[in-house]
Amino acid sequence: MSISSLIPALKGNGRRRAVDEVDRLRENEVIILTNLHAAGDEIALLRNDVAVKEAEAAEERRLRGEAERRAAVAEQERNDMHAELLRLQARFGPQIAAEANANRIDVPRAIRPVDCPEDQATAPIDVRPLWAALGTEPAATADPGRVPSWAVIGADLPGGVDA
């Protein structure tokens, strides 16, 4: 008597054999356990990342609080200095104006030093439109053979048009 004759489930061949199914299930179990351990490792890494990021966020909140406190102190100092400036301007403004008037430098209007070439007086630049500078009116034409009046400068042009 053999062991296979005693256990009828071990008889047969191919896909129906129980031993093959047990081996397949054990392989699946190994794969599933491997995936489970890998997932546990990944979860541990993610939890570590969360802890690090929470610590960084707490540090950022602390730094922001310090910066806001420093900004509030600086703003108060600025407001105090501005109030002091206004007080001093009101107190010494007339004295400063009197000193400026007493120590002013007057240059006669008609005299302008023009010793350097870059200091030479210039005439105002004529910035009128071209037709106004030429003394004509703006004109548009649909006839390309006709010369507009604003384009005539005063010389005889071909086609018999005179300025």
20-67 pLDDT per residue, tens: 788 889 999 999 999 999 999 999 999 999 999 999 999 999 999 999
Q: Are 160 and 145 in contact (CB under 8 A)?
A: no
Residue type (1 letter), 100: A
Mean pLDDT of the chain: 80
User: For residue 73, is it within any domain?
Assistant: yes
Give yes or no for a contact between 113 and 129, defined as CB atoms under 8 angstroms apart.
no
In a domain, 124, yes or no: no
158 assigned to some structural domain? no
Q: Which of 17-31, 97-111, 116-130 has the lowest mean pLDDT?
A: 116-130
Inter-residue contact 149 to 137 (CB < 8 Å): yes
Alpha carbon dihedral 46, 51, 54, 55, in 10-degree steps, equals: -140
- Asked, for residue 43, whether it belongs to a domain, the answer is yes
87 belongs to a structural domain: yes
Count of alpha carbons within 13 angstroms of residue 21, beta-carbon side: 10
| Domain boundaries, position 88 | 15-102
| pLDDT at site 163 | 42
In a domain, 78, yes or no: yes
Residue 74 has pLDDT above 80, yes or no: yes
Say if 82 falls within a structural domain. Answer: yes
Number of separate domains in the chain: 1
Mean pLDDT confidence for 120-125: 69
